[in-house]
Structure 1
Amino acid sequence: MLKRQQLTRAQARISTLNSTANFDFAHVWSSRKDIKELRVAFVYQWFIGYVPLWLLIFIMCAFYLGAGHNPSRYTGNIDVDVVDFDGQQAGSFFLDAFRTTPPGNLTLHWRYKYPDDYGNSVSQTQQAVEDGQVWAIVVLLPNTTSIINQSIFALINSTTLVTYPFVNTLPVLVIYDEGRNWLTQNSFVLPPIRAAIAVANNRYANTLRTSIISNLSLTSSSNTNRTLQLQNTLRLRNLLANPFVAKYNNLHPALPFMGLFDSNIL
């Protein structure tokens, strides 16, 4: 009786093991037909959905990263017009600074234009950038020298308090189109422009300060109000340090869409 019970239990255990061994669990690599069909459908859907997406990402990265890599490969003519509408002392310092400042990348060219090339109108200079004739245009506005000299003479005479002359309109206007190619603009066009303007600022500011010191020394024995002169000097400190303040007019901004910051006045 005992042997029969043991034999029955052994047979039941063997039967259970055999049924478990023959059962195919539902997993991703199962050999079951329905699982195979699901696996093939999943791989197909993944290929259809993700491969074009990664291909699009690759193309976008190649476009944006490649656009700023050595522009000489796709253009040999990045032109920037420089126009002096002042034609006086400030204009002379302005043009000399651009002539002595390297234009950065070898593909960048300064093109010196006359006001009559734009109909003697500053407002017409923007059209050259919009039409794609140049990558940027740098303009020194008319009467810049006269405005600066009036402030300097007022400081030297110091009969009344003077005000900063370029409150509403800055003397230098830089027009560019960042939407044309923001990498080229910010890597190869704008940096040389800022460098040339910085050189012009340094040279002209030194000349203005030297002129002021010389004239003040001549009036040292006069009854000029020294306190008022000091106040006016402080009021014009920005002019004496940075006479060529530039406004940057970006016709089609691209930086805000790239998560970067853009300043309009430098």
Structure 2
Amino acid sequence: MTGPRTGAGQRRFSQVDVFSAHGLRGNPLAVVHDADGLDEETLAQFARWTNLSETTFLLPPTDPAADYRVRIFTTGGELPFAGHPTLGSAHAWLEAGGTPGRPDVVVQECGLGLVTVRRGERLAFAAPPLIRAGDVEPARAREILAALDLDPARVRGMAWIDNGPGWIGLELASAEEVLAVEPVPALAGLLKVGLVGRWADPGTAGKDVEVRAFYGDGTDFGEDPVTGSLNAGLAQWLVGSGRLPDRYVAGQGVRRHRDGRVHVERRDGQVWVGGDTVTTVSGTVRLPG
């Protein structure tokens, strides 16, 4: 269930702030409910029009194990999976009256398959398996260091942590070094790179590490405010290798004038990525179809 339509061409619409308990400090997500009947071009065009990092469209599931299906669009195209759209879509679906098959979890169907979202103090998704892991090719590594204007001596580790969007992760020596990075946009190319570094005093301002996410599509370059998929990949890499604890809070968004909090926990071998979700806009949107 995602709520009744209110008129010809009108569909329920939500805008959700993800990874923020108070709203306006996390990463916004546009959600269109009851999106069946909309063609591919309409989905892409509306996502470009919202001009947010992601827009999602809720649909009936095709897998009987799922509670709903979601399609995730950036302004440049469709993604098989993304983290803040998963939490924001689950929040919007539940708020609109969706009833999951199991009371403690919501099962989302997306391009990557089924993703479990745990309900509790806050929503948390089970990090999907990495589709690419391991060492980064030397030429690619040099390209990344040049684009981020980073001295190789400052990098403690670099690895593929791709769970759909194509992330590569870099561990730096400290949170301060993460915040000090000044990318060179002209060199960014098609990069999707995430940085992580520890705060010397864990729990500083309610966070243990600082994260930043950079992306380039060949024509544009930017920094994502708060990124669930990246934090999932970083946790699978660094918690799995013992370089981060089984439970921590990541801060992200400071350089984008945001203040997101990503709650990471590894339980019984499964990494969970959680965050607070707040609806900031609700109403209807008129779309053809």
- Is TM (by shorter chain) over 0.5? no
Give the greater-gyration-radius structure (CA): 1
Query: Which one has the bigger helix percentage?
Result: 1
More contact order relative to length (CA 8 Å, sep ≥ 6): 2
Query: Which one has the bigger strand percentage?
Result: 2
TM-score by length of 1: 0.29
